[in-house]
Amino acid sequence: MQVGKEIAPGSRPSDIIRRNIVITTAGVCAPDPLVEAIGALGEDSVMFSVDYPYEDTQVAADFIDSAPISEALRAKVCHGNAERLLRL
């Protein structure tokens, strides 16, 4: 995210959204929405999460472990993005 940085003239709304919106995977354990979200918002704007108690934690963990993404991207989605955004 680039919150607080100046918006370049001619920026598209989609550019502004990618810079300022972060989503989680809570409640959605399907590969297509995960891949599409990463494609639409960028790999820095998607984080793994579990909507406990409404979602089965093991089902969500099994899903993200087998999701069709690289190990580097999985690390970013599972913890890297949260560490960066929350300054952990």
Q: Look at residue 46 and give its three-state secondary structure.
A: strand
Active site residues: 51
Measured CA to CA in angstroms, residue 82 lies from 1, 43, 46, 75, 87 at distances of 11, 12, 9, 10, 8
Give 78's DSSP letter. Answer: I
d(CA 35, CA 42): 10
